A and B are shown apart, each in its own frame.
With several copies, the nearest count.
Chain A
Amino acid sequence: MLSLYRPGHSVLHRLPAGPKMLVLAVAAIALAALPTAAGAAAVCAGAVLLAYVVPGVGLRELGRQVWGLRWIFAVTAIGQLLFLGPEPALANTARVTAAVLVAALVPLTTRVDDLLDALERGLGPLRRIGMDTERAALLLAVTITTIPVLARLAAEVREAQRARGVRPSLRAGLVPFTVLSLRHADQLGEALAARGVR
């Protein structure tokens, strides 16, 4: 549920997480650094098409991604059109969108587990400068476990309000939701302590 991963057999799916991240990050940053010129927009479009079609991720997925970015797209394009005019607007919007689309290939083709492992390896050297990487990994894992629990608590609060005949609202819902979350945290803290976390 909590994942952007789309199962598949493309080259990118088979590449190990670390190198893949590196390559796509470099590509995305290179796109982001292109100059504001009409030609750059063409380069962006070509690069994105290449990045989705050649490894075998496909145009359908590209379409879904573009649709998912429509708001970001609007935020960028409208300001640009108003203040800078059509040509820079096209170039800059294409540049930003292309960088984001290429970078989006990482979570699309990599399982969350593999990404977390890659992260842990990446954080390894920080241990030497005194970072408690084990505790950091624990925090990430506990957060992932807790998200569906809190989502259920939010649903419970919504339901309780409707049951009391009032329309659920953010303002009225947030107080009970926060209290429930804090109580959950108390119990979770106890359970962690009882299982050896100090």
Chain B
Amino acid sequence: MILHCRDLGVRLDGRDVLRGVTLDLDARTIAVIGDNGSGKSTFARVLAGLVRRDTGDVRVLGLDPDTDAAEHRRRVALVLSNPDAQIVMPVVSEDVAFSLRPQRLPKVERAERVARTLERFGLTDLAERPAHDLSGGQKQLLALAGAFVREPGLVVADEPTAYLDARNARRVADHLLADDGHVLVLVTHDLALARRCGAAVLFTEGTVSAAGVASEVVDEYERALVC
């Protein structure tokens, strides 16, 4: 099972942000949708191991983010909306290499993996440029490169296309949805994008109000929006 939650609950600042989340999903790409404040980002952070659950159970790729923390951290990556927050080093290639630090690879292999990843995201020509001088779309591709260079088994992306134009949004989405051995959990307000996923989860005020085939869940959300 790729994603398994049983009665998951999260309290933040004394508020129940997630309550009784129960899920079993096995799709390669899973969309997470719902209103502002419904708990999507909190759910994504639980999966990525950044927020601890207070009750219930979670398994991501069979791993518990709490008890299997080291292995979980190695296999799960997170991509956020704001590329400026994700870029740490001043130069494009240095920033991609930064993600490999915890793995202590030999220098040559490290350089090779960075080069390969830059190539894949079309950033080779920008490798030596100041990172914060890139355009918004390029910066988000750099953030993806920083996540994918670790060759994660699961990528959690929280509204990764929010700040992008149609063309860049599509490029980023294509990379995320690509079938190259990783599983994707994608939080998004872009319902057309959600439809491109295999499965979807709809959050409503901290609970799961629908889960299953993406197109059906999105339909349900759109019906709710109209009334």
* A and B: interacting chains: yes
> In the complex the two chains form, what is the Cα distance from A144 to B90 in whole Å?
6
Q: Is the CB of B84 within 8 A of A149?
A: yes
Q: What's the least CB distance linking B119 to chain A, in Å?
A: 20
Q: Contact mask B152-178 → A, CB, 8 Å, 1/0?
A: 000000000000000000000000000
A112: nearest chain-B partner, CB-CB: B90
Q: What's the least CB distance linking A149 to chain B, in Å?
A: 5
In this assembly, does B146 line the interface, its C-beta being within 8 Å of a C-beta of chain A?
yes
- Which partner residue on chain B sits nearest A134 by CB separation? B101
A196 touching B80 by the CB < 8 A rule?
no
Q: Kindly state the interface size class of chain A when it binds its partner.
A: 35 or more
Is A190's CB under 8 angstroms from B87's CB?
no
Q: B99 touching A196 by the CB < 8 A rule?
A: yes
Is A84 located at the chain interface by the 8 A CB criterion?
Answer: no
Known interface pairs A165-B99, A165-B150. Does A192 touch B78 (Cβ–Cβ under 8 Å)?
no
For residues 148 through 198 of chain A, which have their beta carbon under 8 Å from a beta carbon of chain B?
148-149, 152-153, 156-157, 159-166, 172, 175-176, 179-180, 183-184, 187-188, 190-196
Query: At the interface, yes or no: A126 with Cβ under 8 Å from chain B?
Result: no
Contacts A180-B85, A194-B78; A165 near B73 (Cβ below 8 A): yes
**A166 contacts B82, CB within 8 Å?**
no
Known: A145-B90, A188-B85. A164 touches B146 (CB 8 A): yes
Instruction: Pick the residue among A166, A172, A176 that contacts B85 (CB under 8 A).
Output: A176
Are the CB atoms of B48 and A163 closer together than 8 Å? yes
Interface secondary structure of A, over-half rule: helix
Contacts of A145 in B (CB 8 A): 87-90, 131-132
A-side contacts of B106, CB under 8 Å: none
Q: Which of B82, B84, B101 contacts A196 (CB 8 A)?
A: B101
Contacting pair A164 B147 (CB below 8 A): yes
Assess the A191–B48 pair: CB atoms within 8 A.
no
A141 interfacial contact with B, CB 8 Å = yes
Counting chain A CB atoms within 10 Å of each CB, which of B74, B82, B102, B131 scores highest?
Answer: B82
Q: Could you jot down 10 A-B contacts, CB within 8 Å? A: A142-B89, A145-B131, A161-B88, A164-B78, A164-B98, A165-B99, A166-B101, A166-B102, A188-B85, A188-B88
Further contacts, 10 of them, CB under 8 A, given A145-B88, A166-B102:
A145-B89, A156-B80, A157-B85, A164-B78, A165-B73, A175-B90, A188-B85, A191-B78, A191-B85, A196-B99
